[in-house]
Chain A
C-alpha cells in the first residue's frame, strides 16, 4: 500500500514541532537539522515497502522525541551563553 503524501508531510511537521521543544540547545538543533536531512535525502523514495519502513522509523522517532522532551523538561537545566541574548557581552 502506498503512503499518501499528506501523511508524510504530517509526520514531518509533527517531528519538527516536537524536536523544537527540546530543552537542551544542542539536542534541539541537532534534531531539527537531522529530521530535515532525513526527509530531504529520502524525498525520492517511491517504493511502497521502503516508504512504509521509513514512516514506521519516523513514527518511532517521534515517540522517542516526545518522551525525551519530557525528560528534558523535568531534568534539564540551564541555558548556554549563546542562547542568552544578554550574553553578547563586551569583554
Chain B
C-alpha cells in the first residue's frame, strides 16, 4: 500500500492515500522529462548547421560589448510578453477592442519614452531603430527646407548612418560641413560657430560617441543653434537612459533613441521631433500616414511596449547603474594600467560616459589581442565596421596614430556586468598584452630605447 508523508512543525504524519491520488502522483513522477518545478524541458538551440566555430555552450564568453547591444532586461521582457501572447491587435484598428487595447499600450509606452527625455508624448514617434531615426532627422529635415536652406553641419566622429545620410544629401546638392574633433574627441564650439551659415538648416552632433564614449557639450550646442534658428539633431542612442537628458533644457529639436542599447528589444527606436517651435520633416517611407505622417507602417506593439518599459526602468535605475558602472570602469582601468605600461585611454577622461572604455595597447596588434581574449566578447570599435581590419575612422579623427588606432579595444560595461567579470577581463588583458609584447620585436626595440619613428623601414 502507498502512503504519503506530511510534515507539520516537527511532527511527521504518515497517511494512507486513496488509490486514485496515488495513481496520479505516480503518473507525474514517471514522466522524467518534467523537472522539479513542473516546467517542460528547456528549449535547446543548435547553431552547428550554420557554423562550426561556436564555442561550447557551457563556456560562453563574458559579454563586454554594451555599446553594440545590451541584453533584454527581464523587467522589459515581462512587460512585453502579454503583447506577444494575447494582445495581438493592430494598434491602428479603431473599430474593435483588439485595436483599442494595443493602442492604449502603445500610448503608455510613448509617454514612458517622452518622460525619459523630458518631452511631450505627442513629440515622440516610434521607428525601427536609431538608424532610421537618424535618417529621418538628417534627410527629412534637410529635404523639407531645401527651397530655403542648403547647408548641414555634422562631425567626423558621427555614426555611419548620419555620415552616410549626409553623403546622400551632398549628392542632392546640399553642402555638408564635417567638423573635426579635438584630440579628446570633443568638438570645438568656436569652430562650430564659424561653420554656421545663414543657410544652415541642421546641426547633427551625437550625444555620446559609440566608440570612445565622449559626451559632447550638448547644452551649449543647443543654445548656439537656437540663437541662430538652426535645427539641432542629436543621436542619443548611447546616451538615453544612461545620462540625464532634457530636450527642453538642452534645446534639442530632434533626438534619436534606440531600444536595444538600453536593455530593450532590438528592432525598435524612437525619434523626438519638437512641436514648438515646430520642426517639419519629409517622411522617408510612404504609406498609411501613421506617426503623424512622419513614419508610416503598423507599429510593432510588443516592441513599442518594450522600449517604453526599458526607458522607464532606465530612468528609475539611472543613478544606481551609473554609480555601479563608474566603479567597474575605474576598477578595470586601474587594474590594467597598474600592471601594463603604455596603455592610452582614447577620448576625454572627464566628459565621458563611463560604460565605454576605449584603450589602446601600444605595440600590440588589436586583432591578435581580440583573438587571445576569445573568452570575452569585445570589439575594437563599432559592430558595423567590426568585419573590416581598417582602423576606426573615429580614432583617426581624434588624431590617434595608425599603430595606436590598430591596437585599440573597446570595453562596454553595462547594467549586468559584474565585478568578477571585470577582474577576469583585466587579468586576461594583462596576461595577453604582456605575452604578445614579449613576442614583439618592436616592443623589444622600444625597451632598448630605440625610437621607432627614426627607423627607416626597407621594403622588400
Which A residues have a C-beta under 8 Å from some C-beta of B? 22, 24-27, 29-31, 34, 37, 64-65, 67-68, 70-82, 84, 87
Q: Which residue of A lies closest to B417 (CB)?
A: A26
Flag whether B57 is at the interface (Cβ < 8 A): yes
Known A78-B57, A78-B60, A81-B60; judge A68-B78 contact (CB<8 A). yes
Report which of B74, B320, B418 forms a contact with A64, defined as CB distance below 8 A.
Answer: B74
Kindly provide the distance from the CB of A68 to the nearest chain B CB, expressed in whole angstroms.
4
A26, B416: Cβ atoms closer than 8 Å: yes
A interface secondary structure, majority? helix
Flag whether B13 is at the interface (Cβ < 8 A): no
B59, A87: Cβ atoms closer than 8 Å: yes
Determine the distance from Cα of A27 to Cα of B77 in the docked complex, in whole angstroms: 13
Q: Which residue of A lies closest to B376 (CB)?
A: A81
Report which of B35, B60, B74, B415 forms a contact with A80, defined as CB distance below 8 A.
Answer: B60
Flag whether B15 is at the interface (Cβ < 8 A): no
Determine the distance from Cα of A75 to Cα of B75 in the docked complex, in whole angstroms: 16
Question: Chain B: how many interface residues by the 8 Å CB criterion?
Answer: 30
Could you list 8 further interchain pairs (A-B, Cβ under 8 angstroms) beyond the known A71-B77, A73-B39, A82-B424? A26-B418, A29-B416, A29-B418, A30-B418, A67-B81, A76-B42, A80-B60, A80-B62
Report which of B59, B77, B418 forms a contact with A79, defined as CB distance below 8 A.
Answer: B59
Report which of A24, A64, A81 forms a contact with B61, defined as CB distance below 8 A.
Answer: A81
Flag whether B1 is at the interface (Cβ < 8 A): no
Q: Which residue of A lies closest to B56 (CB)?
A: A78
Known A73-B39, A77-B45; judge A30-B416 contact (CB<8 A). yes
Kindly provide the distance from the CB of A26 to the nearest chain B CB, expressed in whole angstroms.
4
Instruction: List the count of A-B residue pairs having beta carbons below 8 Å apart.
Output: 75
Residue of B43, B60, B75 with most chain A CB atoms under a 10 A cut-off: B60
Contacts of B246 in A (CB 8 A): none
Flag whether B37 is at the interface (Cβ < 8 A): yes
Residue of B37, B42, B44, B61 with most chain A CB atoms under a 10 A cut-off: B42
Flag whether B40 is at the interface (Cβ < 8 A): yes
Determine the distance from Cα of A20 to Cα of B58 in the docked complex, in whole angstroms: 19
B37, A73: Cβ atoms closer than 8 Å: yes
Flag whether B63 is at the interface (Cβ < 8 A): yes
Contacts of A65 in B (CB 8 A): 74
Flag whether B118 is at the interface (Cβ < 8 A): no
B74, A27: Cβ atoms closer than 8 Å: yes
Report which of B42, B61, B320, B417 forms a contact with A75, defined as CB distance below 8 A.
Answer: B42
Determine the distance from Cα of A88 to Cα of B320 in the docked complex, in whole angstroms: 31
Report which of B39, B45, B415 forms a contact with A70, defined as CB distance below 8 A.
Answer: B39
Flag whether B219 is at the interface (Cβ < 8 A): no
Contacts of A77 in B (CB 8 A): 42-45, 57
